[in-house]
Structures are given as C-alpha cells and as structure tokens.
Amino acid sequence: MSSLTFANNEADYGAGFYNTTEGRPTLTDVTFRSNDARASGGGMHNSGHPVLNDVAFVENVAGVGFPARGGGMYSAGGSPTFIDVTFARNSVGSSLSLGGGGGLFVRDGAPILQNVTFEENDAFSRGGGLETGGDSRPTLRSVSFVNNDAGVSGGGMYNLGAATLVDVTFRGNTALPEGGGMFNGGTQRSLLINVAFRGNTAGAGGNGGG
C-alpha cells in the first residue's frame, strides 16, 4: 500500500485502518489524518506485523469511550516496524475514558522504531507521545519526543516494558505530576544508550522532570 491518505473516518477501533493478527502489510508514503476512534487506535489499530515506512499520523483522536488507548495508533500483540514515521498532534482520552499513548500505544510484542518523531501529542493520563505496557519489548533508535504532554505520567514516554533506547531525545515534554520526559515502571529492565533529556517538566510536587 503506497501513496494513500486515510482522513476523517470514524469507528470504535482503528478509524483509519484495522490490521488483524495475520496481517503483514507494508505501508509506504501513507498519511492518517483527523480520524476519530471512540475506543482505541484513532488512526490505526494493529494486532499483526505491519511495516510502516514514511508514514504520518496527524491529528487523530481516540477516547470518546472506554478503554481509550493510542490516539495515533494502537498495537497489541503484534510486532510492527516503524521507519521514518511521524506522530504529530494526536490525542487520547477524556475525563470519561482516561487514556494513554497520545501518539502510539503498544501492548506486548516487539515493535521496532527507527527515525521516528513524536511531537505535540497529548494523553489525558499516561504517555503523551508513547505508552508501552504489558510484556512489550520495544526497540527505539534515533527517536525524538518533542513537546508532548501527559495529564498524569510520562509526558514523552510511559514505559512498563523491557525497552531498549538508543540515540533518543526527550525535549520540552510535560507531565503532571511525574516523569516529564519519561516514566519507567514495572518489573522489567530497560536499556538506555546515548539518551538525552532537555527541558522536560513535571508538575508541582511531582517527581522526575527528566
């Protein structure tokens, strides 16, 4: 699939595109814009193994209902590959549905993110840019989190998985109350190599501005 735009669609899950467990599509030069999922995956809902190359998720929304995860994209169980992908101005959650992963939510699986940007995404609860939970094993290389916001924890990234971060930058992200740049929890170990935290903010009385 190449040179496509998914725009102004509505659904409960995966308003722009829904990829099933057996799905292995390659998406190249694709834009997901202004799609609205009442539950999860504003732009895309995934449980398979897609390859996304030169893809943009812009101004997608998830979370009119509950549960709400993944304003731009929701991935559960599969192992997607992201190359040259942008998540910008996506949002998830409301006072009725909480919500995590303003740009991207990952549960289980081993996603690979290479040259990915999360910018100005918003989560009502956790992970303004990215939330990883469950038994996820994400690998991030040359990834930037810029000016993302979370209402509770992890302005840039909220991680409960066994994450590997290499050449990653967190800049200008905000969370209330903790983990302005990144919140790392759970019982699994993560590896951070050449990771920079600059100008991130945690709310008054909170912990971990970086």
Q: Residue 183 corresponds to which tokens in the numbers above?
A: 């919140």
Could you tell me if 91 and 64 are in contact, meaning their C-beta atoms sit under 8 angstroms apart? no
Residue 124 structure tokens: 């009502």
Q: How confident is the prediction for the chain on average, in pLDDT?
A: 93
Interacting residues of 133 by C-beta distance below 8 A, sequence separation 6+: 100, 105, 106, 107, 160, 161
Residue 188 lies in a domain: yes
**Residue 210 lies inside a defined structural domain of this protein:** no
What pLDDT is recorded for position 206?
A: 46
Residue-wise pLDDT for 34-59, tens only, equals 999 999 999 999 999 999 999 999 99
Task: State the residue range of the domain holding 58.
Answer: 2-201
Q: Examine residue 209 and state whether it is found in any structural domain, yes or no.
A: no
pTM of the complete model: 0.95
User: What is the average per-residue pLDDT within 95-111?
Assistant: 88
Q: Over range 2-27, report the average pLDDT.
A: 96
How confident is the model over 66-90, as pLDDT tens digits? 678 999 999 998 899 999 999 999 9
Per-residue pLDDT, averaged over 189-202, amounts to: 96
**Count of domains observed in the chain:** 1
In this predicted structure, which of 7-16, 35-44, 88-97 has the lowest mean pLDDT?
Answer: 88-97
Task: Put the strands of the sheet holding 91-92 in their side by side order.
Answer: 10-13, 36-40, 61-62, 91-92, 122-123, 149-150, 174-175, 201-202
Beta carbons within 8 Å of 208's beta carbon, 6+ residues apart: 178, 179, 180, 181, 182, 183, 202
Smallest CA-to-CA distance from 49 within 110, 102, 107 is with 110
Question: Does 208 fall in a domain?
Answer: no
Give the count of beta carbons closer than 10 Å to the beta carbon of residue 194.
10
